[in-house]
Every structure is written in C-alpha cells, then in structure tokens.
Amino acid sequence: MEAEAIGLASDVDFSVTALFWRATPTVKIVMLMLIGASFWGWAIIVQKFINFRAARREAEAFDRAFWSGEPLDELFDKVGAEPDGAAHKIFAAGMSEWRRSHREDGQLIAGATARIDRSMDVAISKQEEKLNYGLGFLATTGATAPFIGLFGTVWGIKHAFEEIAISQSTNLAVVAPGIAEALVATALGLLAAIPAVIFYNKLSADSDRIMSGYEAFADEFTTILSRQLDA
C-alpha cells in the first residue's frame, strides 16, 4: 500500500504552474497578488536605481559648475528659473527669491535670508518627495507579503483537509498536492517580501545621502548670500 501511494504521488505534477492551476480560487488570487507585488516591487527598485544614479550625476555636475568661480547671476541666467535637475531647481529657487528680494532702487527687502531659506526648503521637500515616491510600496510589501502568503497557505491546507475528508484517505497522492499548493503561497510571499525589505533599506539610505547633499548645498548657498548681504 505504501509503495502504491508513493507511486501515485510520484505521478502528480508538482511544477509551480500545475500547482497554481490546481489551487482553489482564493489561493490563486493570493498567488496573483503576490506575483504582481513582486513584479511591481522590482520595477520600483530598478527605476529608483536609475533615478538615484541620475540624481547623483546631476548633483556632481552642478557642484562643479557652482564652485567653478562663475558669478552666481551668470550661472542662474544659464540655468534658468525652471531647470530640470534637482540641484539646479534648489539653486534656482534660492536665486529667484534673491532677485525678488531686491527693490527697484537695488536695496534688499527685510527678511531676505529667511525667505531664501524657505524657498530652498520647499524645493528640497519637493525633491525628497520625488526621490522617496514608491518606497512606501516596498515597505508595505515587505511588511505584509509574508502574512498574505501565510493566509494563502492556511486556506490551502484547509482545502487539503477537506479533500482528505471527502476521499476518506490520507495517502500521499491525496495529501501531497494540497499541501504543496498551500506552501507555494508562503514561498511567493517570501519571494515578494525579502527583496522589498532589503532594497527598501538600501534605497532609503541612498535617498538620505542625496538629500543630505542638497541640504548641505542649501546651507553653503545661504552662507554665500549672507556674506554678500553683510558686505
């Protein structure tokens, strides 16, 4: 009997595709959700690596231009009021407010430094929002995917026990497929969650470093303008 049961179990297709099609509708929905979350997560990860690399290159190029010794007004005229790069936008926000803070007679309106700081802070906040967009999905996936997969597993095991009760048999040919289908849901949950957690931490740290560079530039720029005000 045992040999016969093993033989019957060995004839069952245990490929992931076969296990998916044999699963109950609820478990299928869980699997599809986890597969979709995994693909979406990887799309965000790849896009963020591309965006962060571009942001670092743009910041380095602007930093070289800013410290090249070129007058700030001339650099601003080249950059324009609505540039594309993040570092350029922060610089443009400060310079735009600097120019608006001058009266027609050339005198500065009181509180210019505070307004320039606020303008650059707003620009930095907008860039931070862009950099971090999508990271929340990775955090959510990392936190919830294992539990969604576990739900699929519990539901699949429940279905397996129902099949055992209906067939009045506990041999491997009856038990193994249902248990395997259930465990696939857990595996998919981990497959979605593990990369999401790893890359969320990595990308969050990269974002913090980029934002620290923007904030450091804003502080240096404000210091330069303050010297001109005191001169």
DSSP state of 54: H
pLDDT for position 229: 66
- CA neighbours closer than 13 Å in the CB half-sphere of residue 150: 6
pTM, full prediction: 0.81
Burial class (CB in 10 A: 0-12, 13-18, 19+), 113: middle
The pLDDT tens digits of the residues spanning 68-121 come to 877 888 888 888 878 888 888 998 888 888 888 766 666 667 777 788 889 899
The pLDDT tens digits of the residues spanning 4-15 come to 444 444 555 556
Residue 184 has pLDDT above 60, yes or no: yes
Distance CA 31, CA 65 (A): 51
Nearest C-alpha neighbor of 16 from the set 2, 7, 28, 4 = 28
Q: Taking a C-beta distance cutoff of 8 angstroms, is the pair 90, 187 a contact?
A: no
Tokens of 7: 């033989």
Domain boundaries, the chain: 12-230
Burial class (CB in 10 A: 0-12, 13-18, 19+), 222: middle
Residue 23 has pLDDT above 80, yes or no: no
Residue 220: pLDDT band by 50, 70, 90 thresholds? confident
Name which residue leads in pLDDT, 43 or 107: 43
The secondary structure of the chain in percent helix, strand, coil, rounded to multiples of 5, reads 85, 0, 15
Q: Which residues contact 171 (CB under 8 A, 6 or more apart)?
A: 1, 5, 8, 9
Distance CA 132, CA 59 (A): 17
Nearest C-alpha neighbor of 126 from the set 179, 82, 178, 76 = 82
At residue 127, φ and ψ (nearest 5 deg) are -70, -35
Residue 169: pLDDT band by 50, 70, 90 thresholds? low
What average pLDDT does the structure give for the chain? Answer: 82
Q: Which residues contact 180 (CB under 8 A, 6 or more apart)?
A: 14, 19
Q: Taking a C-beta distance cutoff of 8 angstroms, is the pair 99, 116 a contact?
A: no
